[in-house]
A = this chain, B = another copy of it.
Amino acid sequence: MLNKRMGKQTIKLHKPPSIVSTGSIVGPKEGAGPLCSFFDVILDDDLFNEKSWERSESKLQSEAIKIALNKGEVSTADVNYLFAGDLLNQLMSSNYAARATAIPFFGLYGACSTMAESLSLGAMTVDGGFAQKVLCVTSSHFSSAERQFRYPLEFGNQRALTTQWTVTGSGAALLSVQDKPPYITHVTTGKIIDPGIKDVNNMGAAMAPAAADTIIQHFEDTKFSVNDYDLIITGDLGIIGKSIVLDLVQQEGYDIKNIYQDCGVKIFDNEKQDTHAGGSGCGCSAVVFCGYIYSKLKEGSLNRVLLVSTGALHSTTSIQQGESIPGIAHAVTISNT
């Protein structure tokens, strides 16, 4: 029996799947941010010519898929599985986007950790000999998320300074058995860590201990050193969560501060764009990875990256019932060698 396990929570892929192409599409606010030059499409209007934000979000996924397939010169018929998820109840955006593709479909929910969840399962599926090609896709939309998780936009509530801004966007990655860098080489799957936080306006703090746990576990499992990475980037902890992760990881003896970033911090210019603690949402690590990081890997200015997407696994019901917010973080190593 083949054993690809390393330590408690990590696997080493024997024939690392290639990420042969990606697609990214974002809303106007993300397109006005510092990473604007890395996205394939920037919308003028976040309704995207649809009659609801939910339909718009679903169309974002469809577009991201189309871009990734076009760049990879692959048709939907050649894709064996679609792994997709989003933040909406019952994965509304993913279901309707998946319907249009007719690709065998596994729906995933990991809140904002879903991009790394989809890359993990997608990579395992290719490495395991179950597929030649798979698509990994997630999305989020500021306006659909606000009205589902918080308040109607028309209400115009004041936002706490710890609040994050849900990214409008979708990212899709096409994985293949084809031998072409970058590759997904390792997968560290997170367990739930719940620091007991009940404030939905401070999700960075709720997710940070899970992110730190997964990063530390990744190093323990793989015996990698911090120097083995050019970049460790969490999904959407924002400014507050990022500083907590730095502290927690540092306490365990891993000095990551020179190579550590957060997608939620990178995607907006917080000073100018008034996004408070930074960006969030399933779409955040999706577009930062599929746009910015993937470009840097392709051009060789980054060669080894640990992508750690982070999720806050609460619902409006769980919060109303007084539960705390469970956090989770999944990590994948993406490397040019």
A: residues with CB less than 8 A from B are 1-5, 9, 11, 14-15, 51-52, 54-55, 80-81, 85, 87-92, 95-96, 98-99, 101-111, 117, 120-121, 124-125, 127-132, 148, 177, 189-192, 194, 313-318, 321, 323, 326, 328
Query: Which of these, B1, B9, B191, B192, contacts A177 with CB under 8 Å?
Result: B1
Contact A95 B313 (CB under 8 A): yes
Q: Judge whether A129 and B192 touch: CB under 8 Å.
A: no
Find the B residue at minimum CB distance from A318: B92
Minimum Cβ distance to chain B for residue A222 (Å) = 15
Is the CB–CB distance between B104 and A107 below 8 Å?
no
Tell me which residues across on chain B come within 8 A of A11, comparing CB atoms: 130
Interface centre among A9, A117, A190, A328 (most CB of B within 10 A): A328
> Which residues on the B side are within 8 Å of A102 (C-beta)?
191-192
Q: Are A314 and B90 in contact (CB under 8 A)?
A: yes
Given contacts A109-B90, A191-B103, A318-B54, contact A128 B128 (CB under 8 A): yes
A108 touches B106 (CB 8 A): yes
Whether B106 pairs with A189 at a CB distance below 8 angstroms is yes
A289 to chain B, nearest CB (A): 19
Chain B nearest CB, measured from A8 CB (Å): 8
| A89: chain B residues within 8 A (beta carbon) | 89-90, 315-317
Q: For A85, what are the chain B residues with a Cβ–Cβ distance below 8 Å?
A: 109
Q: In the complex the two chains form, what is the Cα distance from A89 to B89 in whole Å?
A: 5
Residues in B neighbouring A109, C-beta threshold 8 A: 85, 90-91, 107-109
